[in-house]
Amino acid sequence: MVRRWAIMVIASITLGVPAHAAPTALALAAQEDAAATALGSLAQFIPRPDGRDHRLDYGVWTEALAAFVVSMGPPLRKVPLDVAAPPGTRIKMGPNSFYRLDGSMIGFTLIDREVMSNIARYRRELQAVADTLDIQALPRNEQLAFWLNLHNVAMVEKIGENWPIRQPRDILIDGVPLEDAPFITVQGIALSPRDIRERIVYAHWESPVVIYGFWRGEIGGPAIQRAAFDGRDIASQLDLAAREFVNSRRGTERRGDTMHVSRFYTDAAPFYFSDFDRDLRGHLAQHVEGTLVESLAETALIEATIYEYDIADLSGGARSNPFFASGRLDAGVARMLAERQRKFEYMRRERIPTFTITVSNITLPGDPPNKGEVD
């Protein structure tokens, strides 16, 4: 099991974009060399379950996520219900994305340096688990949970270390963009977040539902969950994440006879949607709900045009004016929580469910031994 340690959490949580950074030529060359070397070495991560029912415990990460991740609730597919700026100013702090009330947000402004240090230590401990335990021999769901959790811990760590920042894609590590920086080391192999996603998980899992488990720190991508991925329930967890994303406006939007979808799907297209329109349409059909079922059937084309690169952070990746820092909640955070409250009030008035119900993977007599396994 993962060695448990005490992560300091924030118990009180109840609840002009900069130019995209470019890697240096030297960093790009080093990145290409590392990628060429890694192609062969990543073969050691091919899943080969040995039949033993081992399980890893991510309870510490679940406690942390529950403390600093705030769910925005089910997708509403409406213009955000705006809240006025504080008295005496017209400046609205916090996220200004059209999709800001979808998915979930992290309260980076509420996480102190000690907590960030503990998150970095937890990432190193997860890496160390793979040095003492044969990850590739675990049940496939346990392997998938390991890679998803390691990826997301690493992303939270590096975005938190570089906060405040408006867009995670502006983060460079030794001159290399965060997505491609090989700062994660597993069994002696240096990996980037993209390596974990594309060269390990996408390469060895056939179900496209796995794409919804990776958090990239951006409002436009799949939301970070308020609990760690668990091998026992990972199929249900990923299905919930898929339904939230697909049915939100950052995932799909009908305009005339075209279904516009997130550009997020183009990254996964070489692995899951080689015939983009046909394959993605079939995938979306498994998750769309309500009026989107009809919209998907009636549209003739699919185009990947939607995305939001802004950070999925309650304060919008910026510190407030010091006026708001003297014993008061960050203005951007306060505005986001107020907008979230207004969304929930509207949903209750309209009798729209403000929650989702999930059923854990329950084994019944006669069920196949691999029930709930993500292919």
The pLDDT value recorded for residue 142 is 97
pLDDT at site 110:
86
| Domain boundaries of the chain, sorted by first residue | 25-206+313-349
CA distance 167 to 156: 13
Return the half-sphere exposure (C-beta side, CA atoms, 13 A cut-off) of residue 4: 9
Residue 156 has pLDDT above 50, yes or no: yes
Q: State the pLDDT at residue 295.
A: 97
At 324, list the tokens.
């708001």
Range in 6-20, 70-84, 209-223, 248-262 the model is least confident about: 6-20
What single letter denotes the amino acid at residue 355?
F
The pLDDT tens digits of the residues spanning 160-210 come to: 999 999 999 999 999 999 999 999 999 999 999 999 999 999 999 999 999
CA angle 179, 153, 209 (to 5 degrees): 75
Mean pLDDT score across all residues of the chain: 86
In this predicted structure, the answer to whether residue 2 has a pLDDT above a threshold of 50 is: no
**Averaged pLDDT, 133-147:** 96
Q: What local confidence, expressed as pLDDT, does residue 89 receive?
A: 52
- For 61, the token pair is 């990460």
3-state secondary structure 33-45: HHHHHHHHHHHHH
Residue 12: the pLDDT is 32
Predicted confidence at residue 37, as pLDDT, reads 47
Of the listed ranges 8-17, 168-177, 235-244, 318-327, the one predicted with least confidence = 8-17
Can you state the angle between helices 276-285 and 291-298, rounded to 10 degrees? 160
pLDDT of 360 = 53
Q: Is the pLDDT score of 10 beyond 80?
A: no
CB 296 within 8 A of CB 278: no
CA–CA distance, 262 with 279 (Å, rounded to integer): 15
Mean pLDDT (whole number) for 152-166: 97
On the question of a cis peptide bond just before residue 193, with omega within 30 degrees of 0, the verdict is no
Amino acid identity, position 201: V
Return d(Cα 166, Cα 255) in angstroms, integer. 29
Q: Give per-residue pLDDT as tens, 68-112.
A: 999 999 998 887 766 555 555 555 667 889 999 999 999 999 899
Is the pLDDT at 344 greater than 80? The verdict is: yes
**pTM beyond 0.75, yes or no:** yes
Q: How many CB atoms lie within 10 A of CB 350?
A: 8
pLDDT at 84: 57
pLDDT of 356 higher than 70: no
Per-residue pLDDT tens digits for 292-343: 999 999 999 999 999 999 999 999 999 875 544 555 678 889 999 999 999 9
Residue 269 scores a pLDDT above 60 = yes
